[in-house]
Amino acid sequence: MTPPELVDSHCHLDFADFDGEVDAIIARAAAAGVRRMVTICTRLPNEPKVRAIAEAHPGVFYAVGLHPMSVAEAAPVTVAELVAFARHPKMVGIGETGLDYHYTPDSAEVQKQSLRVHIEAAQETQLPLIIHARAADADMERLLAEGMAAKPYPCVMHCFSSGARLAEAALEMGFYLSMSGIATFPKSGELREIFARAPLARILVETDSPYLAPVPHRGRRNEPAYTAFTARTGAQVFGVSEAEFAAATTANFDRLFRKAALAAKAA
């Protein structure tokens, strides 16, 4: 039986965990129905490696940004740099960016500055902003809303695991919530309830691999093929079949990541 088509909207194929295995990992993903994915560059010096992976594989696209946990030690990113990267036909998103006050609270002010830069790049390119949020819900809501008031932009709350208020605010702004392997964990009942209250038309699915492997692979290295396990939980959360959930989240991806959808149709 052919598995339903899924998209892994967020993974990190350039990480050392996958060195020498990228071709095999992409092949396993395709066998599991995951024929497209977005690999995320989290530091600008890594962009050539990330881009090369996308260029070598028809179903792989990429995004560029400066991860909030790296802003204190990395050179600041500029709007001009991000816009320049966005000219590449397979560069389809801005980020990941955001705020992380759990692991890196000391750099909060620099994180805010960096987030504003990424928001401006998303406003200019109209590529989706890819948000990392941890223990910073109030500031995250405020900064995203300020940006939307200035000029609308598309956005996905990657690996969403924040509170209900931030989920509601993001949805009110027209953003998307992305479901990761965290949603499959036994103690994630509250998170599953947050997703269940959201419209299915605003849900994406991802691995964030090599991190956050879903049940039954929890605690081991994650990879794009495991999107299928998170999607299985997603189908249960929304009370639909796995095929219906896959079709909905794939359509959602194509609506948000329009550049990737157009490239896939042209291929």
d(CA 189, CA 193) in angstroms, rounded, equals 6
12 known member of a binding site:
yes
Which CA distances in Å does 139 have to 9, 41, 109, 133, 143?
A: 25, 24, 11, 10, 6
CB contact set of 181 (below 8 Å; sequence gap of 6+): 207, 208, 212, 213, 214, 215, 218, 222, 226, 229, 230
Least Cα distance to 114 among 101, 96, 128 occurs for: 96
67 known member of a binding site:
no
10 known member of a binding site:
yes
Q: At what angle do helices 242-256 and 227-238 cross, to 10 degrees?
A: 110
208 known member of a binding site:
yes
d(CA 156, CA 56) in angstroms, rounded, equals 26
Least Cα distance to 160 among 132, 186, 138, 123 occurs for: 132
How long is the chain?
Answer: 267
57 known member of a binding site:
no
The three-point CA angle 23-25-27 to 5° equals 70
d(CA 144, CA 124) in angstroms, rounded, equals 15
Asked if 14 and 218 count as a contact pair (C-beta separation under 8 A), the reply is no
Residue 84 half-sphere exposure toward CB, CA atoms < 13 A: 7
Binding residues: 10, 12, 96, 132, 158, 208
Binding residues for a divalent metal cation: 10, 12, 96, 132, 158, 208
